[in-house]
Structure 1
Amino acid sequence: MSGYACFGYLFLLAFLASLRSSAKQQEPYYLYHYCLNTTTYSKNSIYSSNLKSLLSTFSSSVPFSYTSGFDGTAEGQIPDMVFGIFLCRGDLLSDVCRHCVVFAVNEILIRCPNEKEAVLYYEECMLRYSHQNILSTVIYSGRYILMNATNISSNQVDRFGDLVSSTMNQVAVKAENNSRKFYTIKANWTTLQSLYVLVQCTPDLRRQDCLTCLLSSINGMMSFNKTGGRLLYPTCNTRYELYQFYNEPDIRIQEDSAPSPRPGLNIRFLLIIEKGGNSSVIIIAVVVTITAMSLLFIGVFIVRARNTRTVYETEPIVEGSLQLDFKAIEAATDKFSLRNKLGQGGFGEVYKGTFPSGVQVAVKRLSKT
C-alpha cells in the first residue's frame, strides 16, 4: 500500500470514528415528562439530599446495570426515603443506555425542580423517582400516548386493526415470560411492508403484573387506524410501526413472526397456567375474526384465585376447545351494564364479569364498526 493510500485509509478510519463518537453524544430524544406537584420538597431538606444521592448512584451505576438496561433502588430512611428506577429500551447497547441515563439525571431536576414524584421519558430511556415505593409496583399515572399522523386507508382499517391487536397481544405474552420483560416481533402486513412491534416492562414486575400493564397499554391506544402508535406507562410501554424502529436485540428467546389474519373464522388461543398451593391463575388471550353481521369479540379472560404464588407453565390449547356461551357472559356482566364497564380500548369497551362460581373475567366487546 502506497503512502498516500495508507494515509487516506487512516484518515477514513479516523473520520468514521469521529462520526460514531459524535452520534453517541447526541442528546437523547425527548418525549415527555410528568411532575406530580401535589407533594413538594425544599432545596435544603433531607429528601432533597437523598434524591441527589440516588440520582448520583444512577449516573455512576456499575456496568451491569447499563448492560441489563434497568436499575431500581432506594435512598434514605422513612419519611424522607426516595425510590428510583431507570429503564433503557431493551434493544440498545450499554453505552447508549448510560448516556441517556446520565443525561436524564441532569435534566429531571430542571424539568421537575421540587416535586417528590417525577417521570422523564426519552426515546432511549425512562427515569423516575418518588417518595412512595414504586419498586415492583404497576403504576398507571404519568402515561404518555403518541399516535402517528398518517391514517390507514379506510378499506384496510379492519384488517390492519386485527393484525396489530393480535400481534401486540401475542408479543405481550412473550415479554412477560422473558427474563428481561422485553420482546420485539415482526409480522407480515403486505408483500412489501411489515408491522414491527416492541413491548417492555420494568424487569422487577411479576409476570402477571407485567402482562396486565402491557394489555392496559395496548387497550389504551383506543384504536389502530394509524400507521403507528405507542403508549408509555412508568412501568411498561408498547409500540407498533410500519417501519423498523428498533435494533435487532442481542438476546432473544426466539425469533417470531405473526401471521396475517385470515378472512372468515379464525380463533387462536394462548394459555398461561399459574400454579401454586391451592390457587391458580389462567390467562387466555382469544383472537376472533368473524364475517360481517356477526358479533365480534376479542377477550382476555383472567381467572384469579386467592393467595397466588406462582411458577408459569405454557401450554397450547387445541383450536376451538374453549366454549363460552354468550348468554352466560351477558349474565356475568349484567348485560354489559355501565357499572361493570372497566374502560375502553382498541375497537371496543371492556367489562367486568362475575360468574355464579365466583370466577371473575374481563370481556372486551368489539364495536359493530
Structure 2
Amino acid sequence: MEVNATTTVPAGPPRKNHTFIHHYHHLHSEKHYHSHGHFSFKTILIAIIFVALIMLIFTIFMVVWLIRRQKSSKENGTSKDDSESRVLHDKTNRLMASTIMSFDSSPDVKGGCLYGGNLSRTPTPKFRGVQVFTYRELEVGTDGFDEANVIGNEANGLMYKGILSDGTLAAIKLLHSEGKQGERAFRIEVDLLSQLCSPYLVELLGYCADQHHRLLIFEYMPNGTLQHHLHSHKDQTQLLDWWTRMRIALDCARALEFLHEHAISPVIHRDFKSYNVLLDQNFRAKVSDFGLAKMGSEKKNGQVSTRVLGTTGYLAPEYASTGKLTTKSDVYSYGVVLLELLTGRVPVDIKRPPGEHVLVSWALPRLTNREKVVEMVDPALHGQYSKKALIQVAAIAAMCIQPEADYRPLMTDVVQSLIPIMRNQSLSSSLRFQKQIPSH
C-alpha cells in the first residue's frame, strides 16, 4: 500500500505571523533610513562646507571693500600735496641752483609722525580740558585786573598775568567789546583751540562768557613774544643765539604744518607773525592768537575768498591784492618771520635807507648770494653762527617769500629741511662735549 507523504500545512496562523514579521522589518528599515538620512555624516559635512564657503566669500568681499576704501581715501587726501609737491620741485630746482640746500626726506619723519627724534616734543594730552570761568574768578586771579599784571597790549585786548583758583599760572586775555567782529574772533578761538592739540600751539585752558565779558585763558609763556626778543632794546632782553633761533624756526614750522596738514580740516592762521610766537621757559616756541584763523579748502589748489585782515609786512601778495587765501599765505608769513630771525630787522621800517624799508623786497635778491647773505645776518649775533646752516636757511626763506604762491613749499617740506640742520648741530655739540672730557 502506498502512503502519500505530502503534508498539507495549515495556512492561517503561520501566514499571519509571517505578515507581522515582514511589517516589523519594513518599519524598522524605514526608521533606520530616516534616522540616518537626517543625521548622516555626509549631510553634516556638506552643511559645514557650505557655511564655510559663504563665510569665506563674505570675508573676501569685506577685505576688498576696505582696501578700495582706504586707497580711495589716501588718493583723495594726498592728491593735493602730490600735485603741489611736483610743481614745487619743478620750479624751485631752478631757483635754488646756486645754493647747497636740498629737500631730502628725514629719518625723523616716519609714517607721517613729526614728533620723532631728539629734536621734537611729545604731544601732551589735555587731561583737564577747556574750562569755563566766571568773571569774578578771573578778577580775583588778576588782583582786579591790576595794571601791574599787564603782560601784553594787543589790538583786540589786554593780556594779564594771573593765578587761577587751583594755583595755575595763566595768561588771561580780556577782549575789548568790538561788536560782531570781536564776538566772532572770540568764538573762533574757543572753537578751534578746543579741538586742536599740539605741543607747538599755545594751550587754551578756558574761557569766560559771563554777560558782556569775553576772556580767554591760556597757558603762561614766561619768556614772552619772539618780537620782543628780536626787536626790543638788547639790554632789556636775553639775546637769542643762533641755534635758539633755528630751534624756534623749526617749532614754528611744525606748528603751521600741524594746522595745514594734520588738523581735521586745514586751518589757515592768517596772522602769523613774530608777535604771535610765544616762548616758554626753555625758549621753545608756540604759536598763539587764532582770532583771525580761517578753515581752508580741502580741494586741490583750493582757495578761500575773504576780507583782507592781518598785519602789514606779513601778508602774502595774492592775499593782500585779491583776498584769495590759501595755506601758502601762511607760508609767506612764515618766510617773513624767518627773515626776522636771520636779520634782526622788522618787516617794515621807514627809518631804514631807501630800498630797505620793506624787509622782503630788500632781502629776496640777496638770499641766494652767499656773500650778501653773510652781510644780512643780525649784528647782535657777533658772527656766532654756522655759515653752512645760514646758507641753507636763507634758501628756505627765499622759497617761502616767493611772490607766486605756486613757488612756495609746503610746510612739511620746510620741516623736513630744518630737521637735518638741527640734527647736525646736535651732533657737532655732542662731539665738542666729548673732546672736552679728559681721558683717564
User: Do Structure 1 and Structure 2 share a fold, with TM-score over 0.5?
Assistant: no
TM-score normalized by structure 1? 0.28
* Larger RCO, structure (CA 8 Å, separation 6 or more): 2
Tell me which protein shows more helix as a share of its residues: 2
TM-score normalized by structure 2? 0.24
Bigger-Rg structure (1/2): 2
